Structure 1
Amino acid sequence: MSVQILRQSVIMEGSVVRLETVAFKPRRSGSRSEFTAQAIRVNFHDVLQLSDSPALVPQVENKDILSVVVALFDVSFSEMDPEEIYDIVSSPEAQAIVLLRHPTDVLEEYKSRESKGVRPSHAPPPAQSKDSVPDVGRFSEVFSDSDSEDSRDSTDSTDEAEDSAESTDKRLEWETFSSDVEEFLSKVRERRAVRHSWKQEQEILPTAMGAESLIVGAAVYRLRRLETAEKVLQLSLLATRRCYRNCGVGRYIVELLKTPALCGPYEVFLAHVEHTAVNFFTNCGLSDDTLLNEKFREVKDEWTNTTLMSYLPPFSTELQYHSPLPHAELDSNSPGFSLNLLEMELEVNMMKKKALLAYQQQAVCVMRLVQEVNTLREQLSQQMREVKSLKIELELEKKRRNRAEQQMLEYKLTTMEQLTERQLHVTDEQDYMEADDSWVESV
């Protein structure tokens, strides 16, 4: 029993990290009031393995926190399947950063809004049976504010199962989670009905505020090692509730991800970013430099229709962790502070432009040399074809001459034979005539 308790404490110690509460202020005045939230880093796979694990939020079950995180990503990424999102969030190597508000603060804000007569324009959705809830869009009723795909700051990637056994285990986990989701959705409808029926003279209990009312934003990442032996932090999912956008929540989560003291040591921070969110991540310090990110082409094609962006941490990673406050303003008049960041950024940009210009010039020279080599090769090939043709003609000419010489030699031999035969014939005739004359004389 003591060994099991020790194991549970070790798992919880490494799986859950609570950060300090941070205040957020909307950029546009009048959009909403200021609010506070606390970031929690959690490994859902390890936490949900323990049946008696401590609650991440008082009076809220841990499986409800997982359900609301999956629901947030589901309404933010309409093109992704809920089961695919669940596999990413509940993966053993996945770490999640969840930003949650305190139930008391949410309750006071709700009472203040209701006292001013501000109520949601839509009625609570009717209760549905378990069989009537489809898998697609099943989380659309979790949040009163609807998330739009075009206005999110997000990035996503996913991995497939490696073998059939692992796929079967994941399928069983998804079926278990799916049954818990139905219970969670039923509680969401009940809590929303309680809030809609609340009157000012009545007392509303904190239990009317569930996980769907507490979540502000969430991100999922994992640490992995590439084939080049580089350890990278790869962002899988990032989303913020619509009612909390333009308050610095997304930037705050990215700053947490850039902190090795919280997420663990890494050499580069990678994110597959949708084209509409490139400016957001650029403002957060990530770079979409093509030449730089070509170094990480191993993960470049893991997600389609995205831009690979990277962040390289500074060399001095031994500094103590401090929570990055949103909208923190640095006092430039503080004594002893003389670092001009704007000038440094201008120098870095100028260095990038010069490096790009040098690369372009080198690329132009290389391409022209390649074209010159191709031209010379074509000329050489043409000359070789001409030489080959001349060699063939020479061989044919040699054969023709050999045949002509052979024919001439044969003609000469034939002529000489004929002349020799004629001379022999004439000699024979002369000898015969001389013999005949000598015989006549003798007679």
Structure 2
Amino acid sequence: MDIYSDKECFVRSDGSRFTAQVLIVNFKKLFTSTSPVKILPELQPIEQDLVHAVVGLNDVCLPDLDTDPIYSTVCATGAKTIVILRSVEDVLQQRKQELASDNKKLKKSTSLSEAAAVTSTDSDPVVTGISDTFEDLYSCSSSEDDEEYSDDSTNILSKSRETFLKEAHQRRSHDLSSIDSVGVEHRVVACATFSRVSIKPGETAVQISLVAVRKHFRACGIGRYLMMNMKDYAVVGQYDVLLCYADHKAVSFFHRYGFTDNPIIAHKWRHLMDPWDNSTLMSYIAPFSGPTLSLGTNTVTAIGNMEKHLEAWLQEGFSQHYRQLSFMERLRNEIILLHAKVQSQQEVIATLTSELDHVSMEKQVIEKEFTAYRRQANQMLQQISRQQAENWDPETD
């Protein structure tokens, strides 16, 4: 399903309620669709306006990320995005309340249009974030960006982005009490992008790539709603694990919904996702009966599945224990063999040392005998020389 639409009621921190439109959109398929798609009649073309608003919200809520990777993630093949939009009436009602509150603080000489401009800048950070980010992007466009976004859908985005920004700026100049001043960038309050990845036959992971909630709509239960939907099999399909790279500041948020940053568990899945900057890999493994319990849960089936998983875990545990023990036995026997080799080499060294000592002693004896022989020979020569000198007769010669 490329588009899914539903409505949900949320409660603000002040106790007021508002109803929002919930969309689940596959932007990639929408861009490649040959027939026009209209999710909401007043937004045309909805897929282009909506994707720019979604990217803008992520860009503002996740300042460490560049705009281009956000576009690539939202528009990736197989990626789906949950988008929560409030109604036009809710936007106008909130502005009316803020204007009434701000007008009490402004001087009487301040015009209503100036007060409205101040209110718009304070209450709509997404508009400011989008314009600033996109202006920077357009000011440093290069051929590398064109090569990175070379498919048809991204060409459509690059052409429509400037138009969207111009229209967003024009809406800011309108009377904020009119419908014409409300754009999709004002209506998007939250979004979350996810995709399914097949690890191997029978093993599937769901990657949560992006989650963003507009600042003024936090603590309204929207984050919880997004997480419960992305954990629901009916929304994302059957899975073995949910994965996400959470911003360091958001780790505690994911902990509240059953995610863990255990490095041993994360080690298995680390190759499936490219990490964002300043992020932590977290994972959620659903219980045996599914991510959520419902009235129709079959307890017997759940227990049977648990027993099967437990048996598989025991078998895997035995297998790992066997491999560990085998390794330890191999290591022990290797150490014994090395000790035997060392002992044998020590015996050879002792034998050679003994032979060397014996040869040294024999050498000393031979050197002494040779020295004595030389002394004796010298004495004999001296004696012969003396005898010849005594027997020498000059007359005879």
Normalised to the residue count of structure 2, the TM-score between the two structures is 0.64
The aligned counterpart of 2:239 is 266
Is the Cα–Cα contact under 8 Å of residues 3 and 25 in structure 2 kept in the other structure? yes
Aligned mate of 1:192, from 155, 162, 172: 172
Aligned mate of 1:237, from 194, 203, 210: 210
Distance across 2 between alignment mates of 1:242 and 1:386: 74
For 1:237, the aligned partner's letter is: L
**Aligned-residue offset at 1:193:** 0.6
Distance across 2 between alignment mates of 1:42 and 1:321: 26
Distance across 1 between alignment mates of 2:213 and 2:284: 21
* SS of residue in 2 equivalent to 1:110: helix
Matches within 5 A, 1:279-428: 279-299=252-272, 302-303=275-276, 305-317=278-290, 388-395=345-352, 397-398=354-355
Matches within 5 A, 1:193-232: 193-196=173-176, 204=178, 206-227=179-200, 229-232=202-205
**Aligned-residue offset at 1:170:** 3.8
Is the aligned partner of 1:42 residue 2:25? yes
Normalised to the residue count of structure 1, the TM-score between the two structures is 0.58
**Aligned-residue offset at 1:240:** 0.6
Distance 1:207 1:58, change over 3 A: farther
* SS of residue in 2 equivalent to 1:138: helix
**Aligned-residue offset at 1:59:** 1.2
Distance across 1 between alignment mates of 2:77 and 2:287: 28
For 1:45, the aligned partner's letter is: K
The aligned counterpart of 1:426 is none
Is the aligned partner of 1:138 residue 2:134? yes
For 1:235, the aligned partner's letter is: I
**Aligned-residue offset at 1:48:** 2.1
Report Cα offsets for 1:180-204 as digits up to 9, x if no partner: 11111111111111035x5xxxxx2
Is the aligned partner of 1:18 residue 2:14? no
**Aligned-residue offset at 1:135:** 9.4
The aligned counterpart of 1:428 is none
Matches within 5 A, 1:46-57: 46-50=29-33, 52-57=35-40
| Backbone CA RMSD of aligned residues | 4.2
* SS of residue in 2 equivalent to 1:180: helix
Is the Cα–Cα contact under 8 Å of residues 262 and 282 in structure 2 kept in the other structure? yes
The aligned counterpart of 2:73 is 88
Is the Cα–Cα contact under 8 Å of residues 71 and 139 in structure 1 kept in the other structure? no
The aligned counterpart of 2:373 is none
Give the paired residue count. 306
* SS of residue in 2 equivalent to 1:284: coil
Is the Cα–Cα contact under 8 Å of residues 64 and 277 in structure 2 kept in the other structure? no
Distance across 1 between alignment mates of 2:283 and 2:276: 15
Distance 1:58 1:109, change over 3 A: farther
* SS of residue in 2 equivalent to 1:195: coil
**Aligned-residue offset at 1:211:** 0.4
Distance across 2 between alignment mates of 1:77 and 1:194: 29
Distance across 1 between alignment mates of 2:90 and 2:195: 31
Distance across 2 between alignment mates of 1:318 and 1:382: 56
Distance 1:54 1:228, change over 3 A: closer
Is the Cα–Cα contact under 8 Å of residues 231 and 291 in structure 2 kept in the other structure? no
Is the Cα–Cα contact under 8 Å of residues 74 and 139 in structure 1 kept in the other structure? no
The aligned counterpart of 1:146 is none
Distance 1:43 1:134, change over 3 A: closer
Is the aligned partner of 1:72 residue 2:57? yes
Distance across 2 between alignment mates of 1:86 and 1:321: 36
* SS of residue in 1 equivalent to 2:32: coil
**Aligned-residue offset at 1:17:** 0.7
Distance across 1 between alignment mates of 2:37 and 2:156: 21
Distance across 2 between alignment mates of 1:318 and 1:302: 25
Report Cα offsets for 1:39-85 as digits up to 9, x if no partner: 11000011122364232222112210011001111112222221111
Aligned mate of 2:222, from 226, 249, 266: 249
Distance across 2 between alignment mates of 1:301 and 1:390: 58
Aligned mate of 2:158, from 162, 166, 178: 178
Structure 1: give runs of 5+ residues left out of the alignment.
1-13, 126-132, 141-163, 199-203, 323-365, 412-443
The aligned counterpart of 2:300 is none
Is the Cα–Cα contact under 8 Å of residues 259 and 321 in structure 1 kept in the other structure? no
The aligned counterpart of 2:91 is 106
Distance across 2 between alignment mates of 1:38 and 1:321: 24
**Aligned-residue offset at 1:176:** 3.8
Distance across 2 between alignment mates of 1:383 and 1:36: 80
* SS of residue in 2 equivalent to 1:308: strand
Distance across 2 between alignment mates of 1:168 and 1:320: 44
Report Cα offsets for 1:176-229 as digits up to 9, x if no partner: 423311111111111111035x5xxxxx2x232110111010000000012585
Is the Cα–Cα contact under 8 Å of residues 59 and 130 in structure 2 kept in the other structure? no
Structure 2: give runs of 5+ residues left out of the alignment.
104-114, 122-128, 137-143, 296-323, 370-397
